[in-house]
Amino acid sequence: MDWKLELVPIPVSDVERAKRFYSEQVGFAVDHDISLGDGVRIVQLTPPGSGCSIVLGAGSGVAGGSPGSVQGVQLVVPDVAAARGELLARGVAVGPVRHVENGAMVDGPGGAWNSFVYFRDPDGNGWAVQQRPAEGGG
């Protein structure tokens, strides 16, 4: 039986601001933006090439949790330096390429599966972008 991760809830304080950030700055596609009444709004976005989406929510509704409480959501890309460049060009405050060496994070690229950049959304939810090896590697 296949078990596929479909949706990750991201709690935010302002759904419209978060939608703009994830769609315009990070580059996620807006799949759904539906208002269900009583202040409930479902905004679902998907990273390019991903089978898993995020859903944005404010308050105790759709996403639950406190804005900024989600940390460590991880995306994988074939070229972390190029991904960092795209994020910077779109105005995202993204850190330098880093890797783990002797148990500590240090600047610069690492080996297979060991190059990362990090960014936060306007509420402080934390994301990691990891470089995956080329097809057939790692």
CATH of the domain at 35: 3.10.180.10
The pLDDT, as a whole number, for residue 64 is 74
Please report whether residue 123 resides in a domain. yes
Domain identity same for 77 and 53? no
Supply the pLDDT for residue 23. 98
Give the model's pLDDT for residue 41: 85
Contact criterion met (CB below 8 Å) for 11 and 58: yes
Q: Could you tell me where the DSSP H helices lie in 1-138?
A: 15-20, 80-89
- The parent domain of residue 113 ranges over 73-131
**Do both 78 and 41 map to the same domain?**
no
Looking at the structure, do residues 80 and 120 belong to the same domain, yes or no? yes
Note the pLDDT of residue 39: 74
Is residue 88 domain-shared with residue 121, that is, in the same domain?
yes
Residues 52 and 78 in one domain: no
| Residue 1 belongs to some domain of the structure | no
Q: What are phi and psi of 85, to 5 degrees?
A: -60, -40
Q: Tell me: do 52 and 85 sit in the same domain.
A: no
* Nearest to 93, CA basis, from 76, 73, 123, 118: 118
The confidence score (pLDDT) of residue 115 equals 97
Whether 98 and 86 have beta carbons less than 8 Å apart is answered as no
Name the pairing type of β-strands 104-107 and 98-101.
Answer: antiparallel
Whether residue 38 is found in the same domain as residue 84: no
Do 17 and 48 belong to one domain?
yes
Same domain, 77 and 125: yes
Domains identified in the chain, total number: 2
Residues of the chain with pLDDT below 70 are 59-63, 136-138
Kindly state whether residues 78 and 45 are assigned to the same domain. no
Could you please report the per-residue DSSP string of 37-91? ETTEEEEEEE-TT-S-EEEEE-TTSSS-S-TT----EEEEES-HHHHHHHHHHTT
Q: Is residue 52 located within the same domain as residue 79?
A: no
Dihedral of the alpha carbons of 90, 77, 48, 5, in degrees to the nearest 10: -130
Pairwise CA distance, residues 135 & 137, whole Å: 5
Give the chain's radius of gyration (CA, Å): 16
- Does 51 lie in the same domain as 78? no
